[in-house]
């Protein structure tokens, strides 16, 4: 878990994704190859603005480890303003979430490996 998390710290903390200059598509998490353009693709790293809108969501009532303190919690499909889609926790009252709701990225704790373990941080979303 530790090396897997460490390798992705940059993109998880900062919403760093990819942009294909050939077809204009944006991706998150970052990709090395554009799935549309393949060899013709020209992929470069991009920092997303952190703003977007809710496309869809689920309210989770049976929280998995590290999320049980926040249940019920929302996992949302969010379309970033640049066009990339991301699945991420949305810190919001389940009664308030709606399709098209404007959201922004925030830096939050995701969990920890027990009291002695490492703390995992990353990007969640909140209503604007």
Footprint on this chain of other proteins (rule: CB under 8 A)? 9-10, 13-14, 47, 69-70, 91, 106-110, 119, 121, 124
* Nearer to other proteins among residue 53 and residue 110 (C-beta): 110
* Nearer to other proteins among residue 36 and residue 104 (C-beta): 104
Beta carbon of residue 21, minimum distance to other proteins (angstroms, whole number): 21
Among 107, 62, 9, CA closest to 75: 62
Beta carbon of residue 119, minimum distance to other proteins (angstroms, whole number): 6
* Nearer to other proteins among residue 98 and residue 109 (C-beta): 109
64 preceded by cis ω (within 30°)?
no
Q: Are strands 102-112 and 119-127 parallel, antiparallel or unpaired?
A: antiparallel
């Amino acid at each position: 878990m530790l090396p897997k998390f460490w390798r992705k710290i940059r993109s998880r903390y900062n919403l760093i994704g990819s942009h294909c200059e050939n077809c204009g598509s944006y991706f998150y998490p970052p990709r090395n190859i554009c799935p549309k353009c393949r060899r013709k693709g020209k992929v470069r790293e991009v920092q997303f603005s952190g703003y977007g809108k809710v496309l869809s969501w689920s309210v989770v009532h049976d929280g998995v480890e590290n999320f049980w303190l926040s249940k019920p919690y929302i996992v949302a499909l969010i379309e970033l303003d640049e066009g990339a889609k991301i699945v991420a926790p949305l810190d919001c009252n389940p009664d308030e979430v709606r399709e098209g709701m404007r959201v922004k990225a925030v830096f939050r704790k995701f969990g920890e490996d027990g009291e002695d373990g490492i703390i995992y941080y990353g990007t969640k979303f909140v209503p604007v």
